Chains A and B, each alone.
Chain A
């Protein structure tokens, strides 16, 4: 049962344009959401997060939007750069069984073409 879903395995955009990566979840217990970026042969690197009490969080070129009622979040990268090419994981956090754990989606491979 995939609680965090990233339905697009890959996305290709031109340098300078906007990249939009989407994520859906199915568990109302999740109240904190994160995006990680992963390059080959490296561990995931934290990008940006958002609490369920907010609907937007911005950090430089990266903005995360949360639609709590739709259980949907998206990551916007503007402008996209070739160095942004990586696999992006959406993760959700919530207390379950007295402890907290991160649940990850399967990832979306972003390719930014020069």
Chain B
């Protein structure tokens, strides 16, 4: 059983650019959630995808968008990058049930200069 993987590991962008982060779910999981973890903070919920549909969104602007593919892998896209977008971006997959554990990937460290 493969775990949750994310790519790339690290990324450096400049303000105003666009970025795409990728996540492969754990085998058998149909739900993916994305989180932003700023330095010294806990993970903050961005949005969740269930069977290719957005299924809940946190307090993030529309320039944060996502996709989930038929194999349940997922992308997080961020447009018009701002300095405050510098953070660790985590994805977590789960089976979708109410109490199903969310399994996290190692994250992508994004630095915006």
Q: Write the residues of chain A forming the contact surface with B, with a CB cutoff of 8 angstroms.
A: 4, 6, 32, 36, 41-46, 49, 51, 89, 91, 97-107
Distance in angstroms from B35 CB to nearest chain A CB is: 8
Distance in angstroms from A98 CB to nearest chain B CB is: 8
Cβ contacts A to B, 20 pairs, < 8 Å: A6-B42, A42-B106, A43-B104, A43-B107, A44-B90, A44-B104, A49-B99, A51-B99, A99-B48, A100-B48, A100-B56, A101-B33, A102-B43, A102-B45, A103-B45, A104-B35, A104-B42, A104-B43, A104-B44, A106-B42
In the assembled complex, the Cα of A91 lies from the Cα of B55 at a distance in Å of 19
Q: Which residue of A lies closest to B50 (CB)?
A: A99
Q: Which residue of A lies closest to B9 (CB)?
A: A41
Q: Write the residues of chain B forming the contact surface with A, with a CB cutoff of 8 angstroms.
A: 4, 33, 35, 40-45, 48, 55-58, 90, 92, 98-99, 101-107
Asked whether A32 and B99 contact (CB < 8 A) given A41-B106, A99-B55, A99-B56, the answer is yes
A-B contact count (CB 8 A): 55
User: Which residues of A have CB within 8 Å of B45?
Assistant: 101-103
Beta-carbon contact of B56 and A46 below 8 Å: no
Beta-carbon contact of A100 and B98 below 8 Å: yes
Beta-carbon contact of A46 and B103 below 8 Å: yes
User: Which residues of A have CB within 8 Å of B40?
Assistant: 106
In the assembled complex, the Cα of A91 lies from the Cα of B92 at a distance in Å of 14
In the assembled complex, the Cα of A99 lies from the Cα of B49 at a distance in Å of 11
User: Which residues of B have CB within 8 Å of A36?
Assistant: 104
Known: A44-B90, A102-B43. 5 other contacts (CB 8 A): A43-B106, A46-B102, A49-B99, A99-B56, A106-B40
Asked whether A97 and B56 contact (CB < 8 A) given A44-B90, A51-B99, A105-B42, the answer is yes
